[in-house]
Each structure stands twice: as C-alpha cells, then as structure tokens.
Amino acid sequence: MTVQPAMPMSWRRETKPHKFCPGCGHGLVLKVLGQAVDELNIQDKMVFGCDIGCSLLAWDFFNVDSIQTHHGRTTPVITGMKRANPNLIGVAYMGDGGGYAIGSQHLVSAATRNEKITVILVNNTQYGMTGGQMAPTTLPGQKTETSPYGRDVSKTGNPTLGPEMVNAITGEGAYVARGTVSKVNKLKEYIKKALENQINGNGFSFVEVLSACPTNWRTNAEKTWKFLEEEMAEYFKVGEFKVPGSREEEGQSNG
C-alpha cells in the first residue's frame, strides 16, 4: 500500500499558471480577488461561481468550492446558496456578455432584492470566448465580428452602464463600483470592500471591471493599454457609486 505524504502547510499559497491568452485582463482581476480573499481570511467559507465565457477558465483557479453556470445564472445560483447558508461568502464572477445581455434579468432581480452576495463583472467590450462578437458594452463605432463597420448606436442603442444601473435600483447597504485592470491597487480596494460588505451582512455588492481582450481586439500591448485607459475609461467612469454609510449611498458617484 502506498502511503500518501501529508499535505504541506504551504498548500494555501500554491499557485499555478492561468489559462487565459497573453495580456488578458481576467488574470489580473482574479489575482486581486485571490489576494483580497487571503487578506480577509475567508477562503474556507467562500463559494466561487463562474459563468460561461472566458470567466469559466477560472473554475479550478482557487482552492475554494466552485460552480459554473450559463450566462449570468451564476448570480441566482450563488443567491440560492447564500440564502440556504447565510454563513457562506458567495462570489459570482462573469463577463459583460453573460451579465448584461443573455443573463441581464438575473443581475436586475438580485440587485433589486439587494441580495447579500458579491458580483464581479468583467467588461471587455465584447464576447471574448466565442471570438469577439458585439456585446451590450461595445463602444460606439467599435468594430467587432458582428459589427464590422463599427457599432451603430442609432440601431443598437448605447453601451450598457452597469454600475450606474445597479446604483439606481439597489437599496440601502449596497456597494457599487467600477474598477479597471490598469489600476490594480484601486481595483483590489473595491473588490475587498465588496467582500467586506457581504461579510458585514449589508446588501448587494457589485464591481464592474474594465478589462482587456487583446486577442479579439487584435491589439498589441501599446494599443491594448490605450484602448483600455483612454477609450473605455472615457465612456465607463471608474470610481465608487455607492458605499454604505457614506454620501455615495444617496446616489452620488465620486467618478
């Protein structure tokens, strides 16, 4: 009989390479999420839900319980787990296509009910996993696989402003912010606050993250950063929109 060696004490700190394309923003978002979870010491109570899309590549990234669902359904699945066991810390992680298009009703319902979960939504302005189709967040004039002449907002409407919407429909105790992978320290602060808000038993916590998809944007490092920091950040304002116990809770963004 083979005797298995005891699990090393350092197992919590083990790392492994991620599966995203070079330059993808998902890895940065997940890195700061992991750091926040470590710092708050919630690994043993956390359930990580990822969606369909490139977010699902993170299903075995963390040493926590995890579940994968389709298009925004991660939000109601994590809601159900949290309601069944309020001691859990439930994190729903998804893309902009899943969260704002096919599964948008789930985000609206959970935010309206002020469910005590944390949703992290990665906005890379298109459907990454399936090859770069137009999403609700595609910028005006932006070329994608399904908007080869550039997004025509007169026909498709304006890009979705998720945190602004969530801010408008959530009640007291919600935390709402938009961060960017180009400012990871600030992003970590927002994600940590979103987790702390859940730990404190307040309301719905929502962080949208501006992220890069150089593969489908077909951009080099310089153009990727320029698009992220200039064009995306110009339309999607980074900052906190609602912080429990502060003036932002009354609907004022600090942009």
Ligand X SMILES: Cc1ncc(C[n+]2csc(CCOP(=O)(O)OP(=O)(O)O)c2C)c(N)n1
Contact 39, 68 (CB under 8 A): no
- Residue found by looking up tokens 């002449």 in the block: 149
Is 96 one of the binding residues for Mg ion (CB under 5 A)?
A: yes
Tell me, residue by residue from 27 to 66, as one string, x for binding to Mg ion by CB under 5 A and - for no binding: ----------------------------------------
CB of 231 to ligand X, least distance (A): 17
**Collapsing DSSP states into helix, strand and coil, what is residue 106?**
helix
Q: Which of 93, 89, 46, 50 is nearest to 69 (CA)?
A: 50
The partner residues of 206 in beta bridges, in order of sequence, read 119, 176
Residues 167-196 interacting with ligand SF4 (rule: CB under 6 A)? none
Among positions 213, 228, 232, 243, the unique one binding ligand SF4 when judged by CB under 6 A: 213
**CA 211, 182, 134: angle at the middle one, nearest 5?**
20
Which residues 6+ apart lie within 8 Å of 213 measured at CB? 21, 24, 25, 54, 124, 125, 126, 128, 132
Closest residue by Cα to residue 32 from 228, 192, 216, 240? 192
Q: Which of 52, 119, 165, 187 binds ligand X (CB under 6 A)?
A: 52
DSSP state of 183: S
- Told to check if 135 binds ligand X by CB under 6 A, we report yes
x-or-dash pattern for ligand SF4, window 52-81, by CB under 6 A? --x---------------------------
Token couple for 204: 């719905």
Q: Let me know: does 97 contact 126? Beta carbons within 8 Å.
A: yes
CB of 121 to ligand X, least distance (A): 9
**Residue 20 near which of ligand SF4, ligand X, Mg ion, none (CB within 5-8 Å, type-dependent):** ligand SF4
Residue 159 engages ligand X in binding (rule: CB under 6 A): no
Under the binding rule (CB under 6 A), the answer on residue 124 touching ligand SF4 is yes
**Cα pseudo-dihedral 218, 220, 221, 223, rounded to 10:** -80
Q: What are phi and psi of 136, to 5 degrees?
A: -60, -25
Q: What long-range pairs does 151-157 form, CB within 8 A, spacing at least 24?
A: none
Chain positions 162 to 221 lying near ligand X, rule: CB under 6 A, are none
Q: Is 99 in the site for ligand SF4 (CB under 6 A)?
A: no
Which of 92-100, 178-186, 222-230, 244-252 is the region at the interface with ligand X (rule: CB under 6 A)?
Answer: 92-100
240 binds, among ligand X, Mg ion, ligand SF4, none (CB under 5 to 8 A by kind): none
List the single partner that 21 binds among ligand SF4, Mg ion, ligand X, none, CB under 5 to 8 Å by kind: ligand SF4
The yes or no reply on residue 238 touching ligand X (CB under 6 A) is no
The residues that touch ligand X, with contacts defined as CB under 6 A, are: 52-55, 70-71, 95-98, 122, 124, 127-130, 135
The residues that touch ligand SF4, with contacts defined as CB under 6 A, are: 20-21, 24, 26, 54, 124, 128-129, 213-216
